[in-house]
Amino acid sequence: MRPLGFLCCALALWALVGRAQAALVETQIDVPVRVQDAWGRAVAQPIRVTVFADTTNPRPAPIALINHGRAPSASGRAALGRARYSDAARYLVGRGFVVAVPTRVGYGVSGGEDVEASGACAQRRYPAVFAAAAEQTLAVLEAVRQRPDVDPDRVLVLGQSFGGATAVALAAMNPPGVRAAINFAGGGGGSPERHPEQPCSPAQLAQLFAAYGRTARVPMLWVYADNDRYFGARLPREWHAAFTQAGGTAQFVQFGPQGADGHSLFTRFPATWQPVVSAFLDAQGFAAPAVR
C-alpha cells in the first residue's frame, strides 16, 4: 500500500496536469492565399490553419508559425490530413506562444493543385516553390496578427524538411516582426526509397541557400541529424556554409543518429532538440513565462 503523502502528491500533480490541458485551446481557421507555381500559374484558394493557445499565458503573446514538410507522392500529400504537430505546438505554447500550423495548398484538408511541384529531378525549380510556401506563411501570419491576444511584432517561424527550407526562404524576405527562424532538417527533393541521402539537384539547393544568405538578416537555428535518410550528413553542412558565407546568420546543430531515420528528429525526438531550441529562443528574447 502506497503512503498517504505519495497519493496526495500524485493527486495534486494530476490536478495541475488537468488544468494545464484544459487551458490549451485548439481552433481552426481558413485563410485565403494566392500563389504562383514554378511555371507561373496563379492559384487562389483558402487553406486550413490550426491554432493553439493557452488562455492562462501572459498577453500579448508572441506568434510561432510551423510549416510542414512535403511527401514525395501525391497520396502521401493527401494523407497529411490537417497539419497539427501537436507535441511541438504544446512545447511552444508552454513557452508562451500562440502557435499556427498551416496546411498548405495541395495537401490534406486544404487540397487543391500541387503548387510546390518543382519539375524534373535533374533540373528542379526550387526558388519558385519555396517562394510559394513562404507567401502562404506570410498570409497566415497576417491573419493571426489580427488576434487581440498576440504581439504582431514578436514572431518565430520554423518548419520541418520542405517547411524548414521554407523558414529559410521567409527569413531571406526579412518580414517585419519576424525575430527568429528555425530550420529542422530543411531541404527539398529527397526520397529515402529511390535515392537515399542524395536529393534531387543538390547543387541547385546549395545555390539557393547562398541566395537566401545574401539577403537574410533574421537570426536562425538549423537542426539536423547525422542519419537523415533524405539529405545525409554532408549536404546540410554544405548548405549551411553556403548560407553563412553569403552573409546569413545561422547556428548549425547536427545531432548523432536518431532512430532509423534522423529526418524525423522534429516529430519523434523532441527531448533531443528541445534544450537547444530553448537556449536559442532565450537568446532571441523569447523567454518562457514564469511557472505559475
Give 21's contacts (C-beta < 8 A, 6+ positions apart): none
Residue 7 clears pLDDT 80, i.e. is over it? no
End-to-end CA distance of the chain: 32
Rounded Cα distance, 4 and 18, in Å: 21
Q: How many domains does the chain have?
A: 1
13 occurs within a structural domain: no
> What is the model's pLDDT at position 292?
58
- Look at residue 162 and tell me if it is in a domain: yes
Q: Whole-angstrom Cα distance, residue 202 to residue 187?
A: 9
Q: What is the C-alpha radius of gyration for the chain, rounded to an integer number of angstroms?
A: 19
- HSE-up (13 A, CA, CB side) for residue 58: 11
Sign of CA dihedral 223, 135, 204, 119: positive
pLDDT exceeding 90 applies to what percent of the chain? 90
- For the whole model, what pTM was predicted? 0.92
| Per-residue model confidence (pLDDT) at position 221 | 99
Of 44, 26, 33, give the one whose Cα is nearest residue 101: 26
Q: Is residue 292 part of a domain?
A: no
- C-alpha cell of 279? 537556449
* 227-271 residue pLDDT tens: 999 999 999 999 999 999 999 999 999 999 999 999 999 999 999
* Bridge partners, residue 278, by sequence: none
Inter-axis angle of helices 270-283 and 86-94, nearest 10: 40
Q: What is the CATH number of the domain that holds 194?
A: 3.40.50.1820
Whether 72 is in a domain gets the answer yes
Under 8 Å between Cβ of 132 and 139: no
DSSP 237: H
Q: Give residue 261's pLDDT.
A: 98
Mean pLDDT, range 186-213, rounded to an integer:
96
Residue 183 lies inside a defined structural domain of this protein: yes
User: Which residue range is the domain that position 256 belongs to?
Assistant: 25-283
Q: Is residue 261 part of a domain?
A: yes
* pLDDT (tens digit per residue) in 49-65: 999 999 999 999 999 99
Q: What percentage of the chain reaches a pLDDT higher than 70?
A: 92
Tell me whether strands 42-54 and 98-103 are parallel, antiparallel or unpaired.
antiparallel
Domain presence at residue 276: yes
**Could you tell me if 258 and 233 are in contact, meaning their C-beta atoms sit under 8 angstroms apart?**
no
Report pLDDT digits (tens) over 121-146: 999 999 999 999 999 999 999 999 99
Any domain includes 7: no
| pLDDT tens digits, one per residue of 138-188 | 999 999 999 999 999 999 999 999 999 999 999 999 999 999 999 999 999
- Asked whether the beta carbons of 99 and 281 are under 8 A apart, the reply is no
Cα 82 to Cα 68: distance, rounded to the nearest angstrom: 10
Instruction: Please give the DSSP secondary-structure letter assigned to residue 195.
Output: B
d(CA 126, CA 202) in angstroms, rounded, equals: 10
